[in-house]
Structure 1
Amino acid sequence: MVARETAARPAVHLCGPSCPELEAAVKLAGEIRSSGVAVTLVLHAMSGMERAYIRDRALEGHESTRKRGRTIGGAGVTDESMLSMALRLRDQEMGLRDIAKRLVITTDTKKGRHPSPATVMRMVREHDEQAAAAARAWSPGWCAAGV
């Protein structure tokens, strides 16, 4: 009896007193004679609902954080001087790992450490995308043929 009460508490918390998924799982469990299988089915249904609930709450939190103008993730460690150095090293045909070893973070708690190759790749890729967008916006082919 104790296991049933503990297992029922999250279900009421997740979906209120009436929940079609839980009712279906309980009905199916009642039709099966083996009590071990019945309990397993009910717990499986409840764990699925709990995962969905946690995911929804996390997404709501991310959305509210973005609405407040905050970012999710670590602090930015790149700056313009690091980008210019990375671009210069890339022009010398150095690899991402070699570029990352040469760059040094100058701000935040990671001051004095090297950025990861993924950070270097992301920084250079974003720069290339912005440069390509700017080139498309200012190219002479943007106007109509008759103008």
Structure 2
Amino acid sequence: MKLNTIGLETTKTKELAEDLNHLLANFQIYYQNLRGIHWNIKGKRFFDLHVKFEELYTDANLKVDEIAERILTLGDTPLHTFEDYTAKAEVPVGKNISQDDKAVRLIVDSLAQLLKLERVLLEKAGDAGDEGTLAMISGFISEQEKTVWMMKAWLDETV
């Protein structure tokens, strides 16, 4: 078993970095969706949602950077082209969404997909003893679960 400089098994960190790149691609599409609905939202809830969407895309942008830096910390290269992102992403793409219910639904559906990917990463990071990735992903999950709950409450739905 070969260990890297930070004390993790190299084969496991390579797999984690690949999974993190998959998450990065999905986060980039999620981020761009948030920018789009922030710009295009219309209607009586414009002021509230415009501010909320900005809060969410600012947070997503920070998470994109954290994911990319974690990939680098593990010794790999983060994806950085839209071609790579669109090829790997599974979150739904929102195009020309200006209606409040559709915008919030896009957020819920996107976060549901991100949470699936993060739960897989959480398990793999635990198996690899990768506390850095584990802590990062665990934090993402708890924040996103709360956001899903709030968005579902806004939609008048249960989690």
TM-score strictly above 0.5: no
Which structure carries more relative contact order (alpha carbon 8 Å, separation 6+)? Answer: 2
TM-score w.r.t. structure 2 length?
0.28
TM-score w.r.t. structure 1 length?
0.30
